[in-house]
Each structure stands twice: as C-alpha cells, then as structure tokens.
Amino acid sequence: MSTCQDQLLNPALRLYELIPKHAPGGFGTLMDLDDATALEVLRAAICDPKAADRDVPSLWGFRNSKVYRFMCDGRTAATWHGYPTEEKPPTAVLREWQRQGAITAAEYNRMIRRVGRGS
C-alpha cells in the first residue's frame, strides 16, 4: 500500500474515492466529476512544492476551466477525495499549469486574484 507521500512522486498510485461530504445530499461542495474523470484529474494534479512535506498534502487539478482540490485521506493505504473550488491555488501550481499550457495567461491572471491560498 502506498502513502500520500509515495503518491506525490508517483501519480499512477493515486486512488480516488468519493466521500459522502462531496456526494449528492452531502454537506460539502458537490463533486461534479464522475469517478473515472476525477481519477484522471487527480493523477494529473499538482502539489505545491512548499506543501509537499506536510503530513496531509493537497493536490490541485484543472479541467474544463474549473479548479479541483484533492485531499489525502489517511497516511497509509491512502486514497484521495476532491471537489471543485473557487479557492486560489498556490502560485507555484498556477505557474506550472501555465507552463504546461493547461491554462492561458488570461486564466492565470483571473485565478491569481482569487481569495484563498497562494504564495
């Protein structure tokens, strides 16, 4: 079984699980991706280098002009849950998305102004 830290280095090990909080009828933000698509976004998601050594790091994904945040559940036999967010991703993540061509300069400029994380 892999841990969160193992999965930061090897995205193919990442496993997605929809948790009740983000499922229909849950009290959190509804996950709007099906499980297969969420896993695809999770496996392409990026970790903020400044947060990589935290016990429970988060990953940031982008699909169809939406930002998704994935949180690791557990330190062993780790799975990840996620949700769409309007929160500002860390600046390092935004820069990497722009470098990869995942977002345009206009999208970068719009997201950098969001409230939330970032550094």
Question: What per-residue confidence (pLDDT) applies to 56?
Answer: 67
Question: What per-residue confidence (pLDDT) applies to 53?
Answer: 65
73 band by pLDDT with thresholds 50, 70 and 90: confident
For the entire predicted model, the pTM comes to 0.88
Phi, psi angles (nearest 5°) of residue 29: -65, 130
pLDDT at 96 over 90: yes
pLDDT at 119 over 60: no
Residues 6 or more apart whose Cβ sits within 8 Å of residue 108: 94, 95, 97, 98
pLDDT at 59 over 70: yes
